[in-house]
Amino acid sequence: MGESAVNLRPEGTGRVVTFTPNPSIDRTVVLDAPLARGEVQRTVSVTEQAAGKGVNVAKVVAESGVTAEAVLPFGDKAYLEMLDADLPGRMTVAAAEVSHRPRTNTAITEPDGTTTKINESGPTLSDDDLASARDALVRAAEGADWVALSGSLPPGAPVDWYAQLVSALKPLGVKIAVDTSDAALDAVLDALPEASFDLIKPNSDELAQLTGGDAAAFEAAASTGDVTDIVAAAARLRDRGITNVLVTLGGSGAVLVNADGAWHAGAPKISVRSTVGAGDSSVAGFILADVAGRPPAECLTTAVRYGSAAASLPGTTLPTPADLPSADVSVTDLPLPN
């Protein structure tokens, strides 16, 4: 399993497009002691990079040998120069012809890997800005294998913008992943089954939000290896029109439910250094395995390996195949609820 997850597909085949509706400059502050509120502390390091959840997915995909294009709803010279300086060889960027200053997101990372995030709202987009962004995305998506819609919505965007974008993309025949949260996540579910799509990646809190479950109970049970209620909740989302429901559970691994069955993958043992980008890396891992034609259980294990690799790296560092855990990931076939 470990070897196959590294060489997923020969370079030059497959194409993935991502969309980041609210791109950011990610500023990571690393401390040498636990965060002390109200006190003065020194930093070990401070780094900045052009980012955003869709940008992260595209970087991981491209570093793994599959062509990726990151679409942005607006351009900014400083942001694009910063992004270009750190661009993998198989990755390109397309920005709608609209100019805005992106937000700055600050992550404060403590020695044990605990990360506190402070995120700005981002620029307000007009109706014309939104239309330009949609058109840029649809143009880029033609002929792609997957499109990943990732992250929060910017001010000015309707809460159901993701559902609108899914409807605009579906005639192209691409597979679509949606990874968002809060009201935008609720709106995506409200648009089902008409705006059905192919992958969602809730964590335990988001699964509870979408299904009326108890996040704390999900996590407590998963820590003992019992994911029965998580599978049942994920199956309800699948039945509403989502092809693959990938529930990430941190140190308890992840669960995948689709029409073929349900699986639980344990997480490899790692030292957590920063959780920034772990979810995006999981999405990228799943997509990479699917583009390579791998079965669902291997898509799940590859998602877990990429997410775990990201969590083992400092700051906002994203994993390459060389960073993946060497240990195999154990997978258990699970019964689906009646």
Closest CA to 117 of 129, 125, 126, 109: 109
CA-to-CA distance for 282 and 288, rounded, in angstroms?
10
Q: Do the Cβ atoms of 181 and 201 come closer than 8 Å?
A: no
Q: CA 48 from chain center: how many Å? A: 20
CA-to-CA distance for 338 and 232, rounded, in angstroms?
9
Radius of gyration, alpha carbons of the chain: 19
Catalytic residues: 280
CA-to-CA distance for 221 and 224, rounded, in angstroms?
5
Q: Do the Cβ atoms of 170 and 216 come closer than 8 Å?
A: no
3-state secondary structure 104-154: EEEEEECCCCCEEEEECCCCCCCHHHHHHHHHHHHHHHCCCCEEEEECCCC
CA-to-CA distance for 71 and 92, rounded, in angstroms?
9
Q: Angle at which helices 228-239 and 204-211 pack, to 10 degrees?
A: 60
Residue 38, helix vs strand vs coil: coil
Q: Do the Cβ atoms of 270 and 20 come closer than 8 Å?
A: no
Q: Do the Cβ atoms of 77 and 48 come closer than 8 Å?
A: no
Closest CA to 288 of 319, 311, 263: 319
